Structure 1
């Protein structure tokens, strides 16, 4: 069972999201709150697997709350929610350590799939967000990263596929590998690059020139 905490100051929207998630037998909404500081406290108390975090809330924004709760528990996965697909929100979410970024108008089925993917360790971004994130955050300058030199040829293939926004299942199909093999490659890539998750690995890939913005 995937435990989810919701943080959004709009009660009606929060209730709707909770209803959508609770309709799936693999998901359990263990808590709800309306501001960033409360989200940090509730995360420490409830230990959710995934936090759906609004960007703009009274008493402290969601991006600052994301940074604070991940500093306390780096194993928590955070998906940032917003009404606006803005570059500064995408970049802020990445820098805070979020594992995903979704627009609030995301269809229910996609929202459920995104929460499950995030809990499984996949990066979760809405359409076009990954490319815009990398283009905005990385820019055109290449920054050498010694970990890239340690990757095998197959690990580089997997990292390029990650940078394209593919899930483990999609990478497995694309590279004709078993999904368990992909998971092993991803774990080794994260270790060699010294990064906490797939999103940070994608940034390193772009910074290091392994791939470029599409």
Structure 2
């Protein structure tokens, strides 16, 4: 039987080393890569990896953004988010980025093993209540009709909706699980595409269109 090849990505060395030690004791699971940052994950994770245990918050970039990039490069890759956060927004952002499971730090060894084997087998690892909330949240997010500012991407419309709602960059960063730099880049792109000089003007345009 071929072992499940796992990469552990977490910027907390104690947790990362502890997880590697745990996985090393499990039959049929082999740790083939470790990373403490998004940059290291991008370099270390290859097509040979089956499952990535991904921390939601990395020092240099969010785990959601890193997941999106890795899944784009390796569509067969299974990502299992490992985090302290259980809020709907974190769960939905992870799912939309391509994660196949969501594991809360503090899970017992048996739960970790089951989660890895489940996502490696192609299953989506979400509890019933979490899945129901997440699907509802995703359905609500689709209510931003693409006919509103069709020149914007879906993500840019989400950012603009939050800007129009009066949220600052830090709040948007937390809500969408994006780095502040990425949020600022989205806002710059929005201003350019809408042809407005500043954030205030963008808010006016967005609210006139029913956003916020």
Post-superposition Cα deviations, 1:139-182, rounded to whole Å, max 9, x if no partner, equal: 4989xxxxxxxxxxxxxxxxxxxxxxxxxxxxxxxxxxxxxxxx
TM norm structure 1: 0.62
Q: Distance in 1 between matches of 2:84 and 2:127?
A: 12
2:77 is equivalent to residue 57 of structure 1: no
**Aligned with residue 35 of structure 2, among 33, 36, 45:** 33
Give yes or no for contact 1:3–1:30 (8 Å, CA) kept in 2: yes
2:157 maps to what in 1? none
1:88 maps to what in 2? 89
Q: Distance in 1 between matches of 2:36 and 2:116?
A: 19
1:17 maps to what in 2? 19
2:176 maps to what in 1? none
Please show how residues 47-196 of structure 1 align to structure 2 within 5 Å. Answer: 47-126=48-127, 128-139=129-140
Q: Distance in 1 between matches of 2:112 and 2:126?
A: 11
Structure 1's 73 and 109: CA in aligned 2 closer, same or farther, altered over 3 A?
Answer: same
Q: How many residues align?
A: 141
Give the unaligned 5+ runs of structure 2.
144-212
Structure 1's 15 and 140: CA in aligned 2 closer, same or farther, altered over 3 A?
Answer: closer
Measured on the aligned residues, the alpha-carbon RMSD in Å equals 1.9
Give yes or no for contact 1:101–1:126 (8 Å, CA) kept in 2: no
Structure 1 position 52, deviation (Å): 0.4
SS state of the match for residue 74, structure 1?
A: coil
Q: Distance in 1 between matches of 2:24 and 2:62?
A: 26
